[in-house]
């Protein structure tokens, strides 16, 4: 919500984050904890969403 300021957009990003995390789970190298890894995916997906929205 901090990045997109819209509940429906935040929900969409949340779905994208968990789908991406599920697909990439086998690539997780245990160099950080899962929370940090998931947080980074969330930030990246949020920024990607904002960039795409800016291009519209």
Exposure class string for 15-32: b at 16+ Cβ within 10 A, else e: ebbeeebeeeeeeeeeee
Interior angle at CA 27, CA 23 and CA 25, nearest 5: 40
According to CATH, the topology of domain 7-55 is Rna Polymerase Sigma Factor; Chain: A (1.10.1740)
Predicted confidence at residue 44, as pLDDT, reads 96
Q: What confidence tens digit (pLDDT) does each residue in 1-54 have? A: 998 999 999 999 999 999 999 999 999 998 889 999 999 999 999 999 999 989
- Cα gap 34→13, rounded to integer Å: 18
Predicted model pTM: 0.86
Predicted confidence at residue 32, as pLDDT, reads 87
CA-CA-CA-CA torsion sign (32, 33, 38, 39): negative
């Amino acid at each position: 919500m901090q990045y997109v300021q819209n509940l429906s957009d935040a929900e969409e990003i949340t779905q994208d984050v968990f789908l991406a995390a599920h697909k990439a789970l086998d690539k997780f190298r245990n160099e950080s904890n899962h929370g940090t890894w998931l947080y980074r995916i969330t930030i990246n997906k949020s920024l990607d969403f904002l960039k795409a929205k800016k291009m519209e």
